Every structure is written in structure tokens, then in C-alpha cells.
Amino acid sequence: MKEDLEKIKKEIEELREKIRYHNYRYYVLDSPEISDEEYDALFRRLVELEEKYPQFKTPDSPTQRIGAPPRKEFGEVRHELPMYSLQDARNDDELREFDARVKRILGLPRDEKIEYLVEPKFDGLSCEITYINGILTTASTRGDGYVGEDVTDNVKTIRSVPLRLFTDNPPPKFQVRGEVLMKKKDFVKLNEMLKARGEKTFANPRNAASGSLRQLDPKITAQRKLDFVAWGVGVVEGIEFKKQSEILDTVEKFGFKASRPRKIANGIEEVLEYYHEMEEKREQMEYELDGIVVKVNNLELWKKLGETSRAPRYMIAGKFSPKRAETVLKDVVFSVGRTGIVTPVAILEPVFVGGVIVQRATLHNFDEIKRLGIKIGDRVIVQRAGDVIPEIVGPVVEKRTGAERDIVPPERCPVCGSKLVKENVYLKCVNMSCPAKLKGALRHFAQRKAMDIEGLGEKLANMLVDRGLVKDLADIYYLKKEDLLKLPGFAEKSATKLIEAIERSKRRPLARFLYAIGIPNVGEYTAKVLAKKFKTLENIMKASYEDLLKIEGFGPETARSIYEFFRDENNLRVLEKMFKAGVSPIEEMEEEKESPIKDKVFVFTGTLSSMTRAQAKALVEERGGIVKNSVSRKVDYVVVGENPGSKYERAKALGLKIINEEEFLRLLGIKE
């Protein structure tokens, strides 16, 4: 019997190797060696044996691509190295300026030729895939560059992603980065199928790839023809690279598709030749491209060049010229944002521009309308700025008939009817109770990056304002369960859940609170700088204009916005109302000096009853802790919920500190 099992095990292993090889030939090299029928026979035999002998089933088996059970939500993965966005260059001059800047930083003469690696910039969804000892363990989206969504089960369904690296000597850790894509032909077929079913179609291949990868049910992802093209690496252990070109060569040897056509360019003029060549070829490529990527090839120079807070200095995206089309400007309507700015929006005769049907385009402000010289009824040229945002380039004056009408700025707010005021180039509604402003402010306040009130999205924000339940931001902290039960879609459980989410939001880090309350000119980064500099909300509220102006990077406009915000009587009234309801931002000094879990590492396994995994993670990170996805000896606490997985067994084997949900809440100071 033992011999028979050994024989079965050997057959399974041989089948896996054959299937991996033929997957690689078909999905990566596009050069199959056997027929579909022969491949199907191999696969069926492997499935049959694994079902009969489950003790031989492994997570890297080709059969695991068929999709795991549906998930309730995506977890989060913190990138060990940030996944930066790229600075854009939109023409030859800006690419030459990048080259000159690289030389200035490195102290090289102007006529020195830098060796660059140039490759296509694929228009997809960035993803990082981690392999431990050659086995795929985690895959995550780029997210905000620091934290992405856990899409491991879905990525495993992508046939061009190896579940095991193609090497007999895998590195201990290998993080490959690349783009999840959908070929143009597969995008067309998918939309035809969705249309036939009466389902919503996708606007372009990038949206199709993103929507397919982020399905909660991996079986749906498995049905979509997604692809993965690698362009770099994250953390790599056990291999030393000297050049970016070596990285991509190695990635291909490990079984991936890597960016092609790529080349090494000797100096900026060869970069420009490649730039123009790829722009000419973009329509013939099987994937959508929106430009090229230019990288300094020598990795030693990367260390010297470094990064800004948002982008690396050793690479840049050379964006292609936007795609254009001609259509009719049918009308102009006016939208009101959360700050009260009235934005004119062009209503267009639907037109296909760069793979997307465009029906609306922002006109920014009335100075822009004057500059463009457009009228209602004009034939206009439309382009997608950066191939993303539709915008009007200008009118086709020679096609005017005389029936065109001037675009007249409104005198009153299109939502609340209040008189508009001119502020720089904008028209603005200054009515604090304007429903349009409040709806936008409420959505902004509740979003994950701000106060993270789960369940308070656009639909509910609009409903709360329309029904008069929320007349200012502070009112959400006075909502009662009975109020919510009167709204459509709410039952006892969902109402309780939202009230609990609102209650939890009362304690958020100071930086997130500052971002949430909508101070003009204060985004996430500025809010973090403010919190770090002044430590407490009280200090910020007392700060003088001169104090604010002294902060590095703060100009007069930003300093004035913050100063005036905290001297506006209505703003102070709303803030005071929040404080009375128990809102108390976590101050910087509290995180630094008082948190009992600062720098402690947590791992979660199983389902928590009082919150989602994402909310638990946020609570840990707000208090200076760290959340990891995998169990190791470096973990301080393993939090166990209902139906824990293999992490629980591994934690026990390693003798780690294991706590239940109640102990976790006590540790965080949430429960007595």
C-alpha cells in the first residue's frame, strides 16, 4: 500500500510539472506544444487524483486556480517597500528636463549619456505578488502605495502568474510587481457577453481588469481573461541585482511575462526615439498603453537619486498625446462641490474617445470657458487628458451656423438658490447649509481615509441630508437608531452596525480628523504635517497665521485657509457640537507616549464579531501597532476570532501570544 501511495504521489508531481510547463508555453510564451484536448486530459487526471488523495493536495497545484470560496471583503496588505506613483512627462522637452535633472543630482556633465531602460507603460492595475521559498503566498493591489487590498485568491486564477517560481533554487523571499491587464480583444468579448446578459459593461480594458480582479468571488475572476505583466520587484532576499534590466530578465526566467518591447537606451535621444516609436505602435499593441516608462538602469544610481514623498527621482512616465474626437456641446450644467465651488460641466453628444464613450466634460471655471471661446451648440474637439479625464480643447469655429448660444454664468446656487460670490476664478456658494455642499462634505468626512464610518456612503449621505436628519457634520453624532430604522434599507442589525461605526469614529488620529473636516487646501499630507508639528488640535486652533507660515512647504494661501477656518464662528460651532458628542481626536503625543501597543506586531485569524478585519487593523495602526498577514516569530499577538485558519495552528506551534477578541479590545483600551 505504501508503494502504491508513493507511486500516486509521484504521478501527481509529474502531472503538476507537465501542466505548469504547458501553462507557461501557452499563457506566457504564447507558443503551445500540445492541443487543448491533451492539456484538458492532463488536468482532469490531476483533479481526479487530488480529489481521491487529498493528502497530496498543495497550495501551488495548478488545480488551485479554479477559485477559492467567495470572500465577505478584502483584507489589507502593507507593502514592505512603498509602491510609488510616477512623475509624468508629456513631451520631448519634459523628458529632456528629467535627463538633465538626473545629471544635476548625480553631478555629471551635461553631455554625459545615462543608460536607461525603456519599456511600455501598460494601462492596468498595479499589483505586488510575494513568493516565499518559491511559492505564491500573497498578492495585493497598489492601494495608496503603502497599503493595498489582499487579492491573493483572485491573482491565483490568472494563468500567466506562476503559483511556484520556475527555479530549483528559489530565493527565500521574492516580491514581483507588475500590471494586471486585459487584452483589447478579450475586453471586447467580455463586454459583448455582459451586454447579452443585460449586465453593466466596462468603459475600457483597465476598468475591466480592475473590476475583474476585485471580485469578491474568485470564481468570477477565474472566468475573466486577465493577464499579468511584470515591470519590477519589491523586497528580494538572496539575489543581488545591479541593473533594472537584470531584474526583468530574472523575472522572465522565473516564469513571468515582463514588459516588452523593452530596450536599453544609451542617452536621452535614444529614449526619445523609443518614445515616438511606441506612440506610433500603440494602436497595434494587444494591451492598452498610455505611455512609456523610463528608468535609470544602474541600481546603484537609484540610491543616490532617491525619492520625493510621492515619486522616485530615477524613473519617469513619458505620457502619450491624448486621443481626440469631435462632437457637439449640447448644454452646460452647474455642479456644486463640498467646498461650495460651482463647476460648469459640458453635456456632450456621446462620442467614442480612446476606448471610452464620453458624454460629459468638466469646464473647470468661467475663465476657462472664456479662454476656450466655446458656445452651446458648438462642434468641439474633446480629448482625454492623460487618457483619463475628458476635456474640451476648443470649438471648431468654421462649422458654426449662427444658432450657437453664449454660456451665461449663474447668479444663484443651482442647488439652494443662494446668491453666488466670486472668489478668484471661481463662483462659490457660501451658504453653509447648502445641501449639495453638505452631501459632499459628509461623504468626504465618512470615507476610509478620514473618519472611516463604514456604511455611510454616497446614497446614505444624500438621504440623511434630503430628509433633514443631518444639517451639519456634527449631526451624524446625534443620530439615533430609531432615526435610521425609518429609512429605507435599514433593519435592526444594519442600524446598530452604523451607530457602532459612528461611535468608533469618535477616536481617530488627529491627522485624519483634520483631513475629514474639510479645511480648504488641506489634504492628507498637509493634515499629517499639521498634526506632527502642533501635536494637539488645541494648539492648531490657537496657531497664528505667522506660526502656520513658518511650516516648511506651507505658502500664504494654505496658512490663511487654516487660520481662517478656525476663526469662522460657524466652523467653531460645528466643532464644539462634535466635542460635546464625544468626538476626541487621538493626538500625536498620545500615540507616541501612551500607546501600550506601539511597534507591537499583530496577526488576525478567524472572524471577529464586533468589527471587520479592516477596522481592527485600523485600530491597531492608529495606536502605533503593526499588522502582518503571516505568522512568524516576530509576531507579538495573534488575535483569534471564530473559525480560525492555519495561522492559529502555526502560532500555537511557535508558542506565540494568542488572545481572543475580548482580550484584544481590552488591550486597545476599548473595553474595560
Domain contains 104: no
Q: In this structure, are 141 and 229 located in the same domain?
A: yes
Residues 168, 296 share a domain: yes
CATH number, domain of 311, equals 3.30.470.30
Bridge partners of 148, per DSSP, are 77
Q: Are residues 210 and 152 in the same domain?
A: yes
Q: C-alpha grid cell for residue 504?
A: 468608533
Which pLDDT score, from 0 to 100, does residue 560 have? 87
Is 16 within 8 Å of 62 (Cβ atoms)?
A: yes
CA distances from 39 to 19, 23, 157, 608 (A): 7, 9, 17, 43
d(CA 23, CA 316): 34
Please give the pLDDT value at position 43: 73
295, amino acid identity? K
SS (H, E, C) 507-549: CCEHHHHHHHCCCCCCCHHHHHHHHHHHCCHHHHHHCCHHHHH
Whole-number Å distance between alpha carbons of 622 and 616: 10
Q: Are residues 13 and 45 in the same domain?
A: yes
437 is catalytic: no
Q: Which of 21, 54, 45, 267 is closest to 163 using CA atoms?
A: 21
pLDDT of residue 432: 61
Instruction: State the CATH number of the domain containing residue 479.
Output: 1.10.150.20
Task: Quickly tell me which residue has 496658512 as its cell.
Answer: 559
Residues 6+ apart with CB under 8 A from 381: 324, 325, 326, 392, 393, 394, 395, 396
CATH number at residue 653: 3.40.50.10190
Mean pLDDT by 10 residues, the chain (672 residues): 71 80 65 68 77 76 58 77 87 93 93 95 93 94 86 91 92 96 90 79 81 84 90 95 96 94 95 93 87 96 85 91 85 87 91 79 86 93 70 90 93 86 78 79 89 90 89 92 89 90 92 89 84 90 90 82 86 91 80 69 86 79 81 89 82 88 83 61
81 domain residue, yes or no: no
Do residues 271 and 95 make contact, with C-beta atoms less than 8 angstroms apart? Answer: yes
Whether cis (ω within 30° of 0) applies to the bond prior to 82 is no
662 in any annotated domain: yes
Instruction: Give the residue from 66, 86, 105 where a domain finishes.
Output: 66
Q: Return the H-helix or E-strand segment holding 233.
A: strand 227-237
Q: Which range of residues forms the domain containing residue 456? A: 435-504
391 within a domain of the structure (yes/no): yes
Residue carrying C-alpha cell 510547463: 21
| Cα angle, residue 329 at apex, residues 326 and 330 outer, rounded to 5° | 135
Whether residues 454 and 602 fall in one domain: no
Q: How far apart are CA 253 and CA 270, in angstroms?
A: 27
Is position 462 within any domain? yes
E-assigned strand segments in 124-182? 125-132, 135-141, 147-149, 173-181
DSSP characters for 88-102?
EE-SHHHHHHHHHHH
CATH number at residue 9: 1.10.287.610
Give domain status of residue 280, yes or no. Answer: yes
Q: What is the CATH number of the domain that holds 389?
A: 2.40.50.140
Q: Where among 284, 319, 354 does a domain terminate?
A: 319
**Distance from chain centroid for Cα 428:** 31
12 and 120 inside one domain = no
d(CA 613, CA 607): 8
Same domain assignment for residues 417 and 554: no
Is there a domain that residue 298 lies in? yes
For residue 82, CA distances in Å to 89, 128, 351, 459, 505 come to 22, 11, 38, 33, 27
Question: Are residue 290 and residue 337 in the same domain, yes or no?
Answer: no
315 and 357 fall within a common domain: no
Residues 304 and 339 placed together within one structural domain of the fold:
no
In a domain, 75, yes or no: no
Whole-angstrom distance, CA of residue 360 vs CA of residue 504: 39
- Largest Cα separation within the chain, whole Å, is 92
Q: How many distinct structural domains can be found in the chain?
A: 6
Instruction: Kindly give the pairing relationship between strand 389-395 and strand 341-353.
Output: unpaired
Eight-class DSSP state of 150: B
Catalytic: which of 10, 52, 121, 399? 121
The residues, any chain, with a CB within 8 Å of residue 305's CB and separated by 6 or more, are: 102, 105, 106, 296, 312, 313, 314
Amino acid at 594: E
Closest among 48, 47, 49 to 64, alpha carbons compared: 47
Instruction: Say if residue 611 is in the same domain as residue 550.
Output: no
| Residue that the C-alpha cell 530615477 belongs to | 314
Q: Can you tell me which residue has the cell 453666488? A: 420
Q: How far apart are CA 203 and CA 187, in angstroms?
A: 10
Residues 219 and 298 in one domain: yes
State the DSSP code for 66: G
User: DSSP assignment, residue 307?
Assistant: B
In this prediction, residue 68 carries a pLDDT of 45
Last residue of a domain, one of 469, 504, 539: 504
